[in-house]
Chains A and B, each alone.
Chain A
Amino acid sequence: MAHVVAPLDQPSNYKDSQARIDRLKQVDILSKSTTLYIGNLSFYTTEEQIYELFTKCASPEDGGGIKRIIMGLDRNTRTPCGFCFVEYYTHAEALACMRYISGSKLDERVIRCDLDLGYKEGRQFGRGKSGGQVRDEHRQDYDPGRGGWGAQAQRMEIERRREAEERYADVQEGPGAVATGGGDWKEAENNVVEVKLKRPRSLDDEGDNMRMGHRTRLDEDFDGERM
């Protein structure tokens, strides 16, 4: 059955960008694969939560089951960075996940599954510049389940903050420290306009509001359901 609709258990355009295997061989491996790549996990999701959901696609009576789970870790901090590999004993179990789990929620996030070529040493670590996943380098949104801003955005924010802090390092106190910008037109006189110095406005004041305004991109909202 697959003539009328596209089955969900076909390999997608997901791939291991560092795999050094030719395309045909990859297709062959995937057609027997027992390993899944799981993406868009929250950094806080545990292996036991993953086990609980994925064990529902296991077929122990068929000689299957969850063989192991390999949690994706940040290369530098050794903390979960939002992906993992789930390895089963049989290919059919991996396919079942593609059909029934991919696109559903775990720990209140929509996760995705993809057939994988199989775990190789080193693949448990993020490949992004900052140690996490590449996608978290470039992410533009605020995602509380994945450490807030994307790594580049975080770096940019740190940079902006540093610039902001340095920018006013030369600030002075006392009369005349703040320019007036010029007053109303007046007859040429010698009056000096005095302005009281207030606390310089911090960038943080605005930053927080901005964060609140952002919505989590991947976390779909299905609240419409009324029971």
Chain B
Amino acid sequence: MSYGRGGRRRYREDYDDRRREIHETPEQKIKSVIIKFGEVDPVAELPRVEKQIRDHVPLNIPNLSEAFRLSVTEQPYKIPYYAALIRLLHEQPDYSDGTSLGRLLLEDFWKGFQSYLDKLAWRETRLCIQFFAHLTMAKVISPDSMIALLQAFTSVLDEFGVSLGRAKRAAMCAAEGLMFAGPILKFHSTSSVTDMINALQTYNDTMNSPKWLVQSTVSLYCDNPFNEHADELLDSLLNSLKALNDSDFSETSNIIPQPYSDYPPLDPSLSQFNLPSVLVPPEVIELDGLSSNPGEDIQLKKEEWPEYHIHFFDNEISPDPNTPAGYVVRTSLLDLIDIFEVNRKECARLLLEYPKWNLPGTFKPKPGAPVEMEPVPGKDWQLESTILETILGAYLILPEATHKSLYYISLITELCKLSPSTVGPALGKSIRKVYTLLSDGLDVDAARRFADWFAVHMSNFNFQWVWREWLGDLALPVQHPKRTFMRRAIEFEIRLAYHERILKTLPEQMQSPDMYIISEQAPGPDFEYDDPGHPYHAAAQTVLNLFRGRSKAEDVISSLDGVKRELENVDDPGMNVDAAVRFITMQSLLHIGSRSFSHLLNAIERYLPLLRNLASAGMSSTGGSGNYEAKMDILTACASFWKQSRQMISIVFDKLMQYQIVDPTDVVAWVFLQGSGLGDPHEIRAPSSLSAFQWDLLKGALDKANGRVLIAKRKVAALRKEDDDTRARAKATANTMEVDADAKPEESPTVDNPALSTALKAFSTLTQEQKAVLSRTLEGFAAYLAPSASDHHANPATRVVITGEGWNNRADWGRDEWAAWETWGWYRQFCRAYSPYLRNYSNTLSTVSFSRFEGSTDPAAELIRRTWNVATGQDA
């Protein structure tokens, strides 16, 4: 087909042929032979690839070993076969000094490993260790040196103040090495193996407090994490390792392919390869916020937490990660998900092809495929269910997933597109399983992400969901997590589509507004002064006409006095004239900007001086910190105008912060002032509680404040570097050239760059704002969750829901209990997600917010403090 001139562009969504034909050199060719090796039948291809490598002249060891390094770290599913290939290249002495080609390759490979380790590239390091473990089993690497390598990693666990993330990754390196090379290592030195396992166990035993804060299903009342529906990564690792150890690693051959296992014994004249000894380098610690070297990544290091992966299928359907075989399947899939994040389409394909890299019989054969062997007892799992459980497990990790939510979501979409008939049913089952967990305490942030995934997924598949099957749950209280989920999922679906479209996907009973599943009207603006009967109608028309006539901001400001006088004549006893003017002006402005996001931006930008004037209560039109009440009025006016479209409330607040009309602290203060389910119908609002929507607003404000600090920090670092460079250049010039009057360096080294001092000042202001926003949030939570006796708006259930007895009676919980429970959940999320920031100010913040809890035995106060202490690393 021809598009005429337009034909040179392509409009299909498949971009796979972007790769251009490149002429390959012989070096590139042999490299790609190694990288692509095994795609059809690795065992059959081994001798051919071995020969190709041997025949390739001239010999270029670094080129070959790089191919191995890329293959091992980017295609870990092929590691056993790459080990076999090295073993084949190590069959006989190839050179006069008695070394083999395999040995030369390994020596060069080691340099690559060392550089991964120096960079603390943990995934690559760990995959290389798997490779070494296979080579130990293949008798290429000496067991002594392998044990020493693994010990270097277990010794990390004994470092003073080792971070959780570092310890977790080092533990994985050591434990996986033990799992794969265990049969030989234990035979060689039982005590070393036992000691390492004990070291791992000892470390893991200290992890109970952090585990309690990030478990997938919440138990507010008990001190120890309970793991009915989720498995913690290190727990799984240890359970699997100990199970293998109990059988003296006789099971290792049942969990991973060992293609080299039946090779004839090696030529005794060949010596084994001894891995050089290593030290795991320490982490670079940033002492204060600005000490980092210019050019370095100055992003705040994310706090590392134990990793709970939810596990919702029976062990007959998907493997139990606490067993050796299950652990291997799950971590292999997780590695694929992680490595192929750059190309979700390839990732989906490789995930569905995974069974060919594991042992035969691990997964059920594809429907219709010939059954080649009897199912292996205890295995025979369902591939698609296992993949989905693994992706969702990674997606729902708390406090946040490694990658953006949308990655996991679009990866699942690709899987469904690749194999709809097999992935579709597994997907439906997964949704139902996670939905069931909502009743059993699924963490609030996990529940929110579940709704997000559900909506985006449905948006990719024609919004087809069998809502009918959840009709029975309409009998649950309105704030029950299942009801909340349905409401939220529908709201998100509408945002991605439109009201009518989603309404017609619902069964009739759910369409009724009394069910609080879907709003009666499509989301839209609500200009309350439109009604000619409204007492402020005339005043509002005056303002609106100024905006419509595109009057200048200054003219509107001066006209507002007239509006104020006009309002003073209105008979409204409860009226606060200043507030009324702000409401009318704000809503009129939003009204002219209500047609689209761009219209909103245009309206705001055109009237910035007016907005600043409003926010400062008429004191200024150039900015400044503004007037608290005025800013609260502005936010209330916006929320009221967009009460039927919560998405727009978020957008307007975001842009008001962006244009610095309000500060993030104002938004936080405002959210806690509202006291109940913003934008929800009155009937379902519980007192003093936070819903996911309010949390989104808080998060928007917190992220804005933190993001600004980061930008300011980057700017300072860049200017410092510039400054240093200038000085260095000046110095160099001064040293190499004769200094005469004309060639004087422009900047004298003693005078600081004015841009830098401005940037430093901005940085300090923004840091103050960051501290204020964190502090205001903490205060807000403390007031909601442990209200004082005199608080009339308190949620009566906030102390009930945190007891074991309370939780066990949850079948009788009503609106207030569930809302209180959700608020506790958002407090936990606040503490763990923002802990890197909170730690910076932990003393001041807790002193201020917790002072009234001094000496208190209020269980709510204690839980607030305990959560805080765990998050900021202060628990004993």
A residues with CB within 8 A of B: 1-10, 12-14, 39-40, 46-49, 51-53, 56-57, 59-65, 68-71, 96, 99-108, 110, 112, 134-135, 137-140, 218, 220, 222-227
Contacts and interface: CB of A to CB of B under 8 A. Distances in A.
Q: How large is the interface on B (under 10, 10 to 19, 20 to 34, 35 or more residues)?
A: 35 or more
Contacts of A6: 16, 18-19, 343
Contacts of B416: 222, 225
Given A222-B461, A225-B427, A227-B428, A100 B406 contact: yes
B70 A4 contact: yes
Contact of B707 (A63, A138, A139, A223): A63
B596 A48 contact: yes
Interface-central residue, A6, A48, A71, A139, by most chain B CB under 10 Å: A48
Considering the complex of A and B, which 9 residue pairs feature the smallest CB-CB distances, nearest first? A227-B428, A224-B420, A7-B342, A225-B424, A60-B703, A63-B707, A63-B711, A47-B597, A100-B406
Interface-central residue, B5, B342, B452, B707, by most chain A CB under 10 Å: B342
A133 to B, nearest CB: 9
A110 B466 CA distance: 23
B235 interface: no
B676 interface: no
A12 B17 CA distance: 10
Interface string B351-380: 000000000000000000000000000000
Contacts of B11: 39-40, 112, 135, 218
B360 to A, nearest CB: 25
A5 B462 CA distance: 30
A223 B714 CA distance: 48
Contacts of A105: 459-460
A135 B70 CA distance: 41
B53 interface: no
B855 interface: no
Interface of B: 1-7, 9-16, 18-19, 35, 70-71, 74-75, 299, 339-346, 404-407, 409-410, 413, 416-417, 420-421, 423-425, 427-428, 431, 452, 456, 459-462, 464-466, 492, 495-498, 596-598, 601, 647-648, 651, 654, 658, 700, 703-704, 706-708, 710-711, 714
A1 B343 CA distance: 10
B406 A101 contact: yes
B361 to A, nearest CB: 27
A104 B5 CA distance: 27
B596 A46 contact: yes
Contact of B9 (A4, A14, A60, A224): A14
Contact of B345 (A8, A48, A112, A224): A8
10 contacts: A61-B707, A69-B597, A96-B406, A100-B407, A140-B1, A223-B462, A226-B420, A226-B425, A227-B464, A227-B466
A152 B404 CA distance: 42
Contacts of B648: 48
B421 A226 contact: yes
A102 B420 CA distance: 20
Interface-central residue, A8, A68, A140, by most chain B CB under 10 Å: A8
Contacts of B714: 63
B496 A49 contact: yes
Contacts of A7: 342-343
Contacts of A14: 9
Given A3-B70, A71-B598, A12 B15 contact: yes
Contacts of B1: 140
Given A13-B10, A56-B452, A110-B13, 8 more contacts: A4-B74, A6-B18, A12-B18, A56-B405, A99-B341, A108-B497, A138-B2, A225-B461
Contact of A138 (B4, B406, B421, B597): B4
Contacts of B417: 222
B598 A47 contact: yes
A68 B461 CA distance: 28
A5 B342 contact: yes
Contacts of B12: 218
B425 A227 contact: yes
A139 to B, nearest CB: 8
Nearest to A141: B1
B341 A107 contact: no
Given A46-B596, A48-B648, A103-B13, A134 B75 contact: no
